[in-house]
Structure 1
């Protein structure tokens, strides 16, 4: 009989170390699930992976950050608050949070992802942070999850105003379109590749016009945001940060 290939082991397999860095206990089964990337799940024969927890954590993260920004900035309009929230919970800042606790070393990845730098990919790191938030919420409820989120994102929240001016490219593109008398931006997204290695290509245009921007990323949300950034780079480079 052919031998079953041995599954990869992450560089650090000590959950106690991760939980100490994270700042909250998590049910062991939920923690294992939160750290299981779809590439590992595929190689393990289709076991559950962390995308459902990621979905839940994204929702918890959004309400916690929105509540904090609402209270901290009582004089700002909804449009500013939306940009600030997007800049705080997007892929890049969450990946920064992941790196600050060495999260990449704990993620269970398939061989391919492990060999191609998956432990330092923004998409994988940010998704795993959201999965950990979801697991914290299920383990201890909203207040425990809120405490972890606010502690881990403290520096980002302190600079939310500045970050909000340059990070939410979809909102910036809408405002640019309105100022220039253009139609609303429309996004078309196509996915390709197997489920465990799927990538998404987003194109943005104004109404039914030719695409103004394009980007390929590992999540639909990030692909759309980067396509909007690409459009702004082509249309008006002064909008981009130096």
Structure 2
């Protein structure tokens, strides 16, 4: 068993594995893993940022930002979840199981984030216990894969364009759930530049919706001959 799945507090580990769809079908359950997911996302962003800073002393900030996005995107975190053996441990509702929840990248990546957050809490909020386990997973990502993914991040491309054209603030996003089932939600994101909507996009999570909104904004810029 991977060390990331070894907990002192089994109840905390079970909460990290519990998807909202399971709670919706089992009313005696005390809660799902979304708060832990929020915490894990913040921790992964911090560790990945420091990891890239230490590994690449000559790399510029914009390239590190792109590579960090690639290192902790949904596809990559879903692969980590499978690597450590999380996939079939996830506690899913029957509906989510029938719809392929154990292989759903959104569910896998979200659960991985939740487990990271829970592991941090289980170890008395000592990030140094968690860091080597996460960095070992980062080490397993081929560098060329990271470069390819970082080069196509629409949010970073839009931010670079905006900054290069004199905007004083970066693009901002307004994202909300607009439909879908509890285990397969749909989000709508709008991206604003200088207070004006310049793109919209939908996705199965906030990150994907925002990337689609940025891609929409880039497509409109290209159509106008500005890109």
- Please tell me the TM-score bracket, short chain as reference: 0.7 to 0.9
Tell me the secondary structure at the aligned position of residue 187 of structure 2.
strand
TM-score, normalized by length of structure 2?
A: 0.81
* TM-superposed deviation, 1:225: 1.7
Q: Aligned pair in 2 of structure 1 residues 193, 22: CA closer, same or farther (>3 Å)?
A: farther
Of residues 120, 126, 136, the one that matches 2:109 is: 126
Return the alpha-carbon distance in structure 1 between the equivalents of residues 144 and 155 of structure 2. Answer: 20
Alignment match, 1:173: 158
Q: Extract unaligned runs of 5+ from structure 2.
A: none
Are the structure 2 counterparts of residues 181 and 139 from structure 1 closer, same or farther at C-alpha, using a change threshold of 3 Å? closer
Scaled by the length of structure 1, the TM-score of the pair is 0.76
1:28 aligns with 10
Preserved contact between residue 86 and residue 167 of structure 1 (Cα < 8 Å) = no
Cα-Cα RMSD: 2.8
Deviation of the 1:190 alpha carbon: 3.2
* Aligned partners of 1:80 and 1:164 also within 8 Å: no
Q: Does 1:38 align with 2:23?
A: no
- Alpha-carbon separation, structure 1, partners of 2:146 and 2:79: 18
Aligned to 1:216, what secondary structure does the other structure show? strand
CA–CA separation in structure 1 for the residues paired with 2:54 and 2:211: 26
Change (3 A) 1:190 1:161: closer
Residues 116, 72 of structure 1: CA spacing in aligned structure 2 closer, same or farther, 3 A cutoff?
same
Structure 1 pair 232–102 and aligned structure 2 pair: CA distance change class (3 A) = farther
Moved more, 96-105 or 137-146: 96-105
For 2:105 and 2:23, the matched residues in 1 are separated by: 19
Note closer, same or farther for the CA distance 1:115–1:170 as it changes in structure 2 (3 Å cut): same
Structure 1: distance between partners of 2:209 and 2:51:
27
Partner of 2:203: 217
Residue in structure 1 matched with residue 139 of structure 2 by the alignment? 154
Among 135, 140, 143, the residue aligned to 2:118: 135
Structure 1, unaligned stretches of length 5 or more? 1-19, 238-242
Contact 1:84 1:163 in 2 (8 A): no
- Give the 3 Å change call, closer, same or farther, for CA 49–83 of structure 1 in structure 2: same
Q: Does 1:58 align with 2:41?
A: yes
| Contact preservation (8 Å) 1:88, 1:157 | no
